[in-house]
Structure 1
């Protein structure tokens, strides 16, 4: 019976992966089509990639996207870590749950509502739509993600570690630097990479708060797709997919490397 269940589970898992990845591989396959369409594959070519790298405007958009993603991930990680520490510091369980619920509002709310809210806010505040409006919006919806990644590590940490550090004469800053920070490092890395991925992937919120002369890859791909089928979109999507895989691999090796360092007091 167990074998049958195991075999059925594997088949189901394989089917799910096929459904998820088949369209992606289909897109990648036709990015090398010399026919210029996604119907008949004529021969292998790199023309779409050559055109992509020759497009100066698109390269600037790629740099804009990476800049926004890295800055928003870095800033939101810093804010999110201190936010998680603040929530964890409250003694009352009801207070923690209330703050955590407020933190989750931006995660569970529809992107369209969040984007429209930020658009109204920036318009009322007189902030010009562009780099800063996109950056502030990305930071805002990335912070709750970081908090959710860091909080579980704080809840796992035994209070005896902090008490032992104080008994050894460590100051409050030393406790944070040598005990708390090393312990929650895997959560910090997880939050950073999650924020980076969310920022790179976001379309709905960015679509509302971006202005003339500034855009990101998600908005640009949407604009290109509306004009019709172009293999440049396939080539660009292929590169983004490969970049995402590299991020996942880097995150995996970093978390594996930091696992043994999450316990005990560092001197």
Structure 2
């Protein structure tokens, strides 16, 4: 038994090494004064200074954050509504159909989704830019929120709802004071997942961006095509740190929400 546990631990260590070694390699060379990723010549912060002196890149960062926050907030609202609609569907066949359609959007290739949105926006006359990117990010984030919220709704006891109705609560009160507080961990999980998906997305965004507007993922791709620059390393390092902060924040939020009600109360 112990031998199997050691083998599994070694296996996990190798997997994590394969996944994280390139990231730490990239972060390490973001401090290289030599300007290349072949030999480390000395420690410097010049690449970070150049990064923050690049006004155009800072505007792109701001665009990316705004798109991510807006799409995550809107998709969370729509996703919660969608999860409730699926859960309260009267017929099981309708419920299964809606859930299947939701799951199809998650597993569909990003290239197909991006090309479909490009065709759609071209046909209906939406100019490619901020609006088209926002709509696309909302569309692929909503199914993710539904998947995160629906299990929390399904594990909620219906007796809580019936008890609230018997005590005279309106349906709005049941929704806002019973259902939503109970599924709050799922809502936070859906929001953070939608936020990270929006920040990381490249394939869909690449199709729906227009002249004069772009996001970080597309900009990093275009910079990398011009040649290796340690500005990319510095930018990627900051993005990785920001993502880790989001993950840690989500961990503490869920830990706090899952804490027993009586914990920490002084008698």
TM-score (norm. length: structure 2): 0.96
Other-structure match for 1:67: 66
**Superposition map of 1:24-173 within 5 A:** 24-173=23-172
Contact map agreement 1:182 1:261 (CA 8 A) in 2? no
Asked if the contact 1:35–1:41 (Cα under 8 Å) also holds between the matched residues in 2, the reply is: yes
Deviation digits for residues 220-255 of structure 1 (CA, Å, limit 9, x no counterpart):
000000011100000000000000000001111111
**Structure 1: unaligned runs, 5 residues or longer:** 263-267
1:28 CA displacement: 0.3
Separation in 1, partners of 2:92, 2:35:
60
The CA deviation at 1:91 is 2.9
SS at match of 2:90: coil
Aligned to 2:254: 255
Distance 1:125 1:105 in 2: 24
| 8 Å CA contact retained: 1:76, 1:195 | yes
List 4+ stretches of structure 1 deviating above 6 A: none
Q: Once the 2 structures are TM-superposed, how far is the Cα of residue 93 of structure 1 from its aligned partner?
A: 2.0
Q: Report how many aligned residue pairs link the two structures.
A: 261
- Structure 2 counterpart SS, 1:91: coil
Task: Tell me the SS of whatever aligns to 1:104.
Answer: helix
- Give me the CA root mean square deviation: 1.0
Unaligned runs of 5+ residues in structure 2 are 262-267
1-structure distance, mates of 2:104, 2:7: 38
CA distance in 2, matches of 1:124, 1:219: 24
Q: Deviations over 1:75-103 (max 9, x none)?
A: 00000000100000013222111100111
Distance 2:162 2:171 in 1: 11
